[in-house]
A and B are shown apart, each in its own frame.
Chain A
């Protein structure tokens, strides 16, 4: 085989492609994250609010709150009110209530999601109980606030949006003893 040198080069290059594509598979994770944040795919909420801090009093948006327990999550978990009306640019607050009715300390993680997806990129949380995991002692009940700003740039045709939280039991992965009771 006269081409043995170029053969070596070729195979090395092809293996390079293979390795690169394997890495690319993992790179899809951050790429996807960026795409989601940019386009609100899957209701991932946007980052920090950098827009104008003044309140847009000319219009109002209905913000609805949902709570779902993942299947094996026994906590009581619900928003204090089903919805509120928000002016874009203003900081709003909603309290969620969580209670651990079991006789064991447990840790939980709340996962937020926004519908419609077109609105997600215009929804900024300034404070959220979903940023950290929550630990509750047996019978303990807490009030957890979420503060948010609806972007002034949100498309005019969006008149309502839904903020949904799903509560997952992560006691097995993050035993509550190891974590400080955050309240």
Chain B
């Protein structure tokens, strides 16, 4: 009557665990850090101890169920206690537990290491996105789910990294000790990347600490692990781990971008300020061709004073300065001058030598044009 579900399950388990099959992932991945490997080993150790205990106990039970049954004519024994046996099966499990506790304690202590980190990242959970800040570097950004709504609502085929892709991943260097300072701006979230064995709750009003040191470059994916409201399932984590050099380059770019943005947005430029700055730029960069009074040297170098471009729509004017005019001497200054300088010089040209347009091009507009171009 009784089958052997445990035997089947055991065989199934064995076959599943012993052969890696990508489509049927059944186990924890060893991950990409020393700690994650330690955790994986611990997990497997405890697992196999449990399997062995299970085989012994369930084996005895099934043996008993096969043999000690009334249908085979068994007469029930009368015993109902044995102090020796009972002490034995209290003490032996206790010893096994001690054996488990030793590596567990060692790993836990390693996780609580407070040695000096190379990089500090502040991670802030929001409903329903993550915010990363590179402390002391002036680099910060939000990281949002990048999976299109069409995929979620089954109107498009789902990609390989469905729900595990973001617009801007957290970028980290290989081999450096990274400290995460985790907090939240609303409810409790939990920042989890399985490959690092890092999971820390993000709690509003409090800061939590965790660290990692990643061994291999690559893309690592995780998810929010604490129910945080409606879109809890839609705030993934992606970490892009780069070689040191690539990381430095990436960070320098982000810093430059950030510094630039700060310069452009932190200041409210006035027409006069831009004109003043544009005056200087014009007289170093443009004057050779277009001449000091904007009169130019026609026909090779057209005049700007009263020109259709310089007194026409500012978008066309900016575009010409930015992109240049192919086939002529007019260069594309978009790549040569900063946003502020382009904005300044265009504004200057529209308001000098009697070109009294009175309007201005702001550095932000130039930046927006630049960003639109780069996409």
Contact = CB atoms under 8 A, between A and B. Distances in A.
A30 to B, nearest CB: 19
Contacts of A62: 116
Contact of A68 (B116, B120, B183, B208): B183
Interface string B122-162: 10101100000001100000000000000000000000000
Contact of B205 (A111, A116, A117, A118): A111
Interface string A46-69: 000000000000000010101011
B127 A71 contact: yes
Contacts of A83: 136
Contacts of A174: none
B183 A118 contact: no
26 contacts: A42-B206, A43-B206, A43-B208, A62-B116, A64-B120, A66-B135, A68-B183, A69-B185, A71-B186, A82-B136, A111-B205, A111-B206, A113-B183, A113-B207, A115-B207, A116-B112, A116-B114, A116-B209, A118-B112, A157-B114, A157-B115, A159-B115, A159-B116, A162-B181, A162-B209, A164-B183
A115 B181 contact: yes
A168 interface: yes
Contacts of B30: none
B183 A166 contact: yes
Given A64-B135, A66-B207, A118 B120 contact: no
A166 B204 contact: yes
A70 B204 contact: yes
B26 to A, nearest CB: 36
Nearest to A118: B114
Contacts of B122: 66, 68
B116 A160 contact: yes
A158 B181 contact: no
Contacts of A114: 207
A164 B207 CA distance: 7
Nearest to B136: A82
A69 B140 CA distance: 14
B114 A158 contact: yes
Contacts of A71: 126-127, 185-186
Interface of A: 42-43, 62, 64, 66, 68-71, 82-83, 111, 113-118, 157-160, 162, 164, 166, 168
Contacts of B186: 70-71
B346 to A, nearest CB: 30
B255 to A, nearest CB: 14
Given A64-B135, A159-B116, A166 B126 contact: no
SS class, residues of chain B in contact with chain A: loop
Given A70-B185, A111-B205, A160-B114, 7 more contacts: A66-B181, A113-B206, A157-B114, A164-B181, A164-B183, A166-B183, A166-B206
Nearest to A111: B205
Interface in B81-137: 112, 114-117, 120, 122, 124, 126-127, 135-136
A120 to B, nearest CB: 10
A40 B112 CA distance: 14
A43 B112 CA distance: 15
Contacts of A66: 122, 135, 181, 183, 207
Contacts of A82: 135-136
Nearest to A73: B185
A43 B115 contact: no
A83 B114 CA distance: 17
Nearest to A155: B114
Nearest to B131: A68
A62 B116 CA distance: 9
The 6 closest A-B pairs by CB, nearest first: A164-B207, A115-B209, A111-B205, A113-B206, A71-B186, A113-B207
A166 B205 contact: yes
B272 to A, nearest CB: 24
Interface in B294-347: none
A160 B116 CA distance: 7
Contacts of B207: 43, 66, 113-115, 162, 164
Contacts of B116: 62, 159-160
Interface centre among B112, B124, B209 (most CB of A within 10 A): B209
Nearest to A82: B136
A160 to B, nearest CB: 6
B282 to A, nearest CB: 36
Interface centre among B135, B183, B186, B206 (most CB of A within 10 A): B206
Contacts of B136: 82-83
